[in-house]
Amino acid sequence: MSKRLQVWGYETLSAYNGKDALKIIKAKLPDLVITDINMPLLDGFSLLKKMKETKRLSFIPVIFLTGIKKEFEDKVEGLTLGAADYILKPYDSEVLLTKIKLALNPIRLRSPTERPVG
């Protein structure tokens, strides 16, 4: 997936487990996090919880991209925790790209009265 994101013009960072992912997120403050739910050392739900508990990380949108087949229960849990979206593998590349753009530009989704002025 990293190569596909790079082709689309995005810079990517990768981690081998959830604990390393959290360290990278704290150090680099990415614009978006795409993560699996199943990861060693710190699962995706726990990663999102820790991000939401940390003020400077809480604004970073998170998209779950996972092959877990308990889609409904996990999707509800992920979105309840504050995930921007939840995508089940296998996924359509165009759908992923659209969801990334939406997660990175949430201001477009707000009504004119909710948009910041200035």
Per-residue pLDDT of 70-112, as tens digits, reads: 666 666 666 777 788 888 888 888 999 999 999 998 654 444 4
Helices 44-53, 71-81: inter-axial angle, 10-degree rounding: 10
Token pair of 29 as six digits? 């403050």
Q: Provide the 8-state DSSP code for 44.
A: H
Residue 66 phi/psi, 5-degree rounding, is: -140, 160
Token pair of 95 as six digits? 């759908």
Architecture of the domain whose range is 2-104: 3-Layer(aba) Sandwich (3.40)
3-class SS of residue 1: coil
Say what the pLDDT of residue 1 is. Answer: 76
- Sequence ranges of the domains in the chain: 2-104
- The single residue listed with the structure tokens 């999707």 is 75
Is a pLDDT exceeding 90 seen at residue 60? yes
Give me the sign of the Cα torsion angle 50, 56, 59, 63.
negative
Say what the pLDDT of residue 73 is. Answer: 65
Say what the pLDDT of residue 74 is. Answer: 66
Between CA 13 and CA 45 the distance in angstroms is 19
Is a pLDDT exceeding 90 seen at residue 41? yes
3-class SS of residue 118: coil
